[in-house]
Amino acid sequence: MTRSEARRARLRYVLVATLSPLAILALWALVAWRGLASPIILPPPSAIWTSFLDMAANGYSGVPLWTHVAASLARVSVAYVAGAALGVALGLLRGRSALIDAVLLAPSELLRPIPPLGLIPLFILWFGVGETSKVLLIFLSVLLIMMVNAQAGVRAASLDSLRAAQSMGANRWQVFRFVVLPSALPQIMTGLRVAMGTALTILVASELLGGDRGLGFLILDASSFFRTTYVFAGVALIGLIGLATDRGLAWAGRRIVHWEGRR
């Protein structure tokens, strides 16, 4: 592909990716405008925008909107960073050491199929309904996802590249640092995107546990008072956070693992 062809293809991609949500929005507005759905169930986009502006100006339940957003972001980022760091470390160790893999196999495989939301009652029992439960729930989900991905990534190193490194004098640590780790990076970057999606899901769920701030709290509270437009505005904010972080991670991934898919 020539450079100008590639640029045109990229432009077309961005155009379609922008038009598709606009089309959905237009269809939605049409349905609402024709009165095909009750405004309690499906309010028109304009009403949601109005509610959003209201929250931005006056806050929600006595707390500024940005405090809700910040509370959610703080929880998710602390849990995500810590969970990803530990998960990647454990996954890499499991990939390199049969002993560590054996130690962690049963505990992690028993935990993995349990939906994190199923753990909520236990977490409330152990850690109460405060910040600890919320953060730990997200932390645990991210950790499990990243552990699996990092461990699978370790296996991506080709036998030839491992042998090449050894025959050029690399010791065990150097083989790991210069070959195994870079080979695992594409899978780790993919895992980071999956884990971010999951982290945001668990975030909303965990904020249903209680507390008086956070986007999850806002959504739950608004829905129990049938303030559907506020529910939608909250959901849209979380969606936008998800979209932005995913695009950010995808962009970072393309820079960090620039060699992926180019062989």
Restricting to residues 154-193, name those near another protein by CB under 8 A.
158, 160-161, 163-171, 174, 178-179, 182, 185
Question: Per-residue x/- mask for another protein, residues 47 to 86, rule CB under 8 A?
Answer: ----------------------------------------
The residue (of 23 and 164) whose beta carbon lies closer to another protein is: 164
Q: How far is the CB of 165 from another protein (least distance, A)?
A: 7
The residue (of 61 and 174) whose beta carbon lies closer to another protein is: 174
The residue (of 157 and 238) whose beta carbon lies closer to another protein is: 157
H helices present in 2-130, as ranges = 3-33, 45-58, 65-96, 98-111, 120-127
- For 30, 31, 37, 147, the CA distances from 51, given in Å and listed in that order, are 19, 19, 19, 41
The residue (of 146 and 179) whose beta carbon lies closer to another protein is: 179
DSSP 16: H
The residue (of 121 and 261) whose beta carbon lies closer to another protein is: 261
What 3-state DSSP class applies to 182? helix
The residue (of 188 and 241) whose beta carbon lies closer to another protein is: 188
- For 2, 59, 145, 178, 238, the CA distances from 221, given in Å and listed in that order, are 54, 13, 30, 51, 15
Q: How far is the CB of 258 from another protein (least distance, A)?
A: 7
Q: Single out the residue of 24, 55, 58 nearest to residue 231, CA to CA.
A: 55
Task: Establish if 258 lies at the interface with another protein (CB under 8 A).
Answer: yes
Question: Count residues contacting another protein (CB under 8 A)?
Answer: 22
DSSP 258: T
Q: What is the DSSP string of 56-82?
A: HHH-BTTB-HHHHHHHHHHHHHHHHHH
Of the listed pieces 87-95, 127-135, 142-150, 255-263, which binds another protein according to CB under 8 A?
Answer: 255-263
**What whole-number distance in Å separates Cα of residue 187 and Cα of residue 148?**
10
Q: How far is the CB of 170 from another protein (least distance, A)?
A: 5
253 backbone dihedrals φ, ψ, rounded to 5°: -60, -45
Q: How far is the CB of 189 from another protein (least distance, A)?
A: 13
Of the listed pieces 30-38, 72-80, 128-136, 153-161, which binds another protein according to CB under 8 A?
Answer: 153-161
Whether the Cβ atoms of residue 217 and residue 225 lie closer than 8 Å to each other:
no
Task: Establish if 255 lies at the interface with another protein (CB under 8 A).
Answer: no
Q: How far is the CB of 243 from another protein (least distance, A)?
A: 29
The residue (of 174 and 223) whose beta carbon lies closer to another protein is: 174
Q: What is the DSSP string of 193-227?
A: HHHHHHHHHHHHHHHTTS-S-SHHHHHHHHHHTT-
Query: What is the number of alpha carbons within 13 Å of residue 97 lying toward its C-beta?
Result: 11
Which residues make up the interface to another protein (CB under 8 A)?
158, 160-161, 163-171, 174, 178-179, 182, 185, 257-259, 262-263
